[in-house]
Amino acid sequence: MAKENFTKQLAKMTMPHFNDLPNLDLYMDQVIDEVNQYLAPITHTKITKAMINSYVKKGIVDRPVKKRYSRLHLAKILVVSLLKPILSLDTIDQAMKIALKLETPSRAYDQFIDLFNQELTDVDIDNLSAKQYQSMAIRALLYKLVVDDLINNSKKV
């Protein structure tokens, strides 16, 4: 029952596009509230001040300006937070750098969000057999390995 409810909930959720993010700079507590309203229902985890500080320290997210975070900061924090359960921070960092070489930040983010939102609506796992669960797990592993390889090989080019 919980699985059916969660998949139906996922189909109703959407992540915000770039222009839907606040257009004014926010302090850390406001960033956490803003990000968690989208992140927590999907991932069942919440972003913390320590996580954001870690992303900044590693250079994945730019340092805030006068302790304030912009729309671009929020976009990067959301992307990192969504991908962190499956990809390393180094891989996520490299992937974002590649995306930002190809597109403006708002377009790169919106492209990611469009794909993510489409996948949310396509999730349908009601009444799966054990074989289907196994297949999903195997695909998740293989896609993760392929993404890691693609990102790592793009560094060498």
Per the structure, the count of domains in the chain is 2
pLDDT 10s digits, 61-109: 999 999 999 999 999 999 999 999 999 999 999 999 999 999 999 999 9
**Whole-number pLDDT of residue 124:** 66
* pLDDT tier at 122, thresholds 50, 70, 90: confident
**Whole-number pLDDT of residue 5:** 66
Residue 140, amino acid: A
Q: Do residue 77 and residue 89 come from a single domain?
A: yes
Q: Is residue 76 part of a domain?
A: yes
3-state secondary structure of 47: coil
Q: Do residue 116 and residue 84 come from a single domain?
A: yes
Q: Is residue 1 part of a domain?
A: no
* Better-predicted residue by pLDDT, 8 or 148: 148
Q: Is residue 116 part of a domain?
A: yes
C-alpha–C-alpha distance, residues 19 and 58, integer Å: 26
Angle between helices 105-122 and 2-12 (to 10 degrees): 140
Q: Do residue 122 and residue 132 come from a single domain?
A: no
Q: What percent of the chain has pLDDT over 90?
A: 69
**Whole-number pLDDT of residue 127:** 67
> Mean pLDDT across the chain, nearest whole number?
90
For residue 22, what are the CA distances in angstroms to 25, 45, 74?
A: 8, 22, 9
For residue 134, what are the CA distances in angstroms to 39, 138, 139, 140, 141?
A: 26, 6, 9, 10, 11
Which residues span the domain enclosing 94? 6-126
pLDDT 10s digits, 27-52: 999 999 999 999 999 999 999 999 99
**Whole-number pLDDT of residue 4:** 53
- Check whether 157 has a pLDDT greater than 50: no
Q: Do residue 132 and residue 119 come from a single domain?
A: no
Average pLDDT over residues 13-39: 95
